[in-house]
Amino acid sequence: MQLLISDANILIDLEEGDLIKELFQLPFIFSTPDILFEEEMSEEHSYLPDLGLQLEELSGEVMSLAWTLTQKYTNPSRHDCFALALAKDKKCPLLTGDKALRRAAETEAVMVNGTLWIIEQMIHQKLITLDQARQAYQRMKDSARRLPWNLAESSLQAIEKEM
């Protein structure tokens, strides 16, 4: 199975959309830097490792790369740079919805996917229906999550036409 490194916002989007259990049913391995999880998520999201989220300890080499990235890119947070450094080191895609982190990842030649891609995967794997996806997007919107709502609906319409 393919490894995907996630930042915090993807996991929070899916929690707000009530799709976190479906996330871990996808045929991927989901991981995040342990330091990111401990400092940003453990208090409110401590159950995620029990669902399948793997926590990666960052080696000295990856920490050094993260430090270099924080010097090179001023807009992504330090935690975002931990996730980018880990994805770059593991040569695997990064999951993020953060524009600054997405730009940095693309500059670093790291493939990037976001919440919309994850939801499309859930639909294609028949873990959720189009209606469930729309309901999840509405819950995310109601929770003030920041997604490209027009693209989300366009994506669902395109999938609908395929079916």
pLDDT digits (tens, 9 = 90+) for 6-65: 999 999 999 999 999 999 999 999 999 999 999 999 898 999 999 999 999 999 999 999
Give yes or no for residue 157 having a pLDDT over 90.
yes
Check the CA dihedral 38-29-83-88 and report its sign. Answer: positive
pLDDT value, residue 162: 86
The CATH number given to whatever domain includes residue 81 is: 3.40.50.1010
For residue 144, the enclosing domain spans 1-163
Q: Within 10 Å of residue 74's Cβ, how many Cβ atoms?
A: 8
Distance CA(58)–CA(79), nearest Å, equals 12
Please give the single-letter amino acid code of residue 63.
Answer: M
Average pLDDT over residues 83-89: 97
Closest CA to 116 of 82, 80, 159, 161: 159
pTM value is 0.92
Total domains, the chain:
1
Average pLDDT over residues 66-72: 96
Q: Is residue 145 within 8 Å of 12, Cβ to Cβ?
A: yes
